[in-house]
Amino acid sequence: MDKLSEIMDWKRREIADRIRNVSDSELESAGTNGLPGRFLEALKTPSGLAVISEIKRRSPSAGKIKDLGPSTEQATEYLRAGADCLSILTDEKYFGGSLSDLKSVADLFSSSSRGIPCLRKDFMVHPIQVLEAAQSGAAAILIIVRALQDDEMKALRESADLADLDALYEIHSENELDRAVAQDPKIIGVNNRDLAVFKTDLSYSERLIPQFPDSVVAVSESGIWNKEDAQRARAAGAKAILVGEALMKAESTHQLISDFHSA
Residue 36's pLDDT is what?
58
Listing DSSP states for the chain in one string gives --HHHHHHHHHHHHTGGG-----HHHHHHTSSTT-TTHHHHHHHS-SS-EEEEEE-SEETTTEE------HHHHHHHHHHHT-SEEEEE--STTT---HHHHHHHHHHHHTSS----EEEES---SHHHHHHHHHTT-SEEEEEGGGS-HHHHHHHHHHHHHTT-EEEEEESSHHHHHHHHTT--SEEEEESEETTTTEE-THHHHHHGGGS-TTSEEEEES---SHHHHHHHHHHT-SEEEE-HHHHH-S-HHHHHHHHHT-
What CA–CA distance (Å, rounded) separates 5 from 109?
Answer: 35
Across the range 155-161, mean pLDDT stands at 97
If one counts every other C-beta atom within 10 angstroms of the C-beta of residue 5, the result is 13
Residue 11's pLDDT is what?
96
Q: Is 124 contained in some domain?
A: yes
- Asked whether the predicted pLDDT for residue 47 surpasses 90, the reply is no
If one counts every other C-beta atom within 10 angstroms of the C-beta of residue 170, the result is 24
Q: Which CATH number is 10's domain given? A: 3.20.20.70
Residue 10's pLDDT is what?
95
- Asked whether the predicted pLDDT for residue 112 surpasses 80, the reply is no
Q: Is 229 contained in some domain?
A: yes
- Asked whether the predicted pLDDT for residue 45 surpasses 90, the reply is no
Residue 157's pLDDT is what?
98
Q: Is 45 contained in some domain?
A: yes
Across the range 226-238, mean pLDDT stands at 97
- How are beta strands 193-194 and 199-200 bridged, if at all? antiparallel
Domains held by the chain: number? 1
Q: Is 62 contained in some domain?
A: yes
Of residues 196 and 244, the one with the higher pLDDT is: 244
Predicted TM-score (pTM) of this structure: 0.95
Q: What are phi and psi of 245, to 5 degrees?
A: -55, -45
Q: Which residues are catalytic?
A: 54, 56, 121, 170, 191, 221-222
Q: Is the distance from CB of 191 to CB of 209 less than 8 angstroms?
A: no
Across the range 44-58, mean pLDDT stands at 92
How many Cα atoms sit within 13 Å of 59 on the Cβ side? Answer: 21
Across the range 204-212, mean pLDDT stands at 97
Q: Which of 228, 221, 229 is nearest to 194 (CA)?
A: 221
**Tell me: the pLDDT tens digits for 164-180?**
999 999 999 999 999 99
Q: Is 19 contained in some domain?
A: no
- Asked whether the predicted pLDDT for residue 113 surpasses 70, the reply is no
Q: Is the distance from CB of 259 to CB of 251 less than 8 angstroms?
A: no
Residue 148's pLDDT is what?
97
What CA–CA distance (Å, rounded) separates 241 from 229?
Answer: 10
What CA–CA distance (Å, rounded) separates 165 from 143?
Answer: 12
Q: Is 74 contained in some domain?
A: yes
Residue 33's pLDDT is what?
59
Instruction: pLDDT band for 156, please (50, 70, 90 cuts).
Output: very high
Q: Is 91 contained in some domain?
A: yes
Supply the range of the domain harboring residue 139. Answer: 3-14+27-261
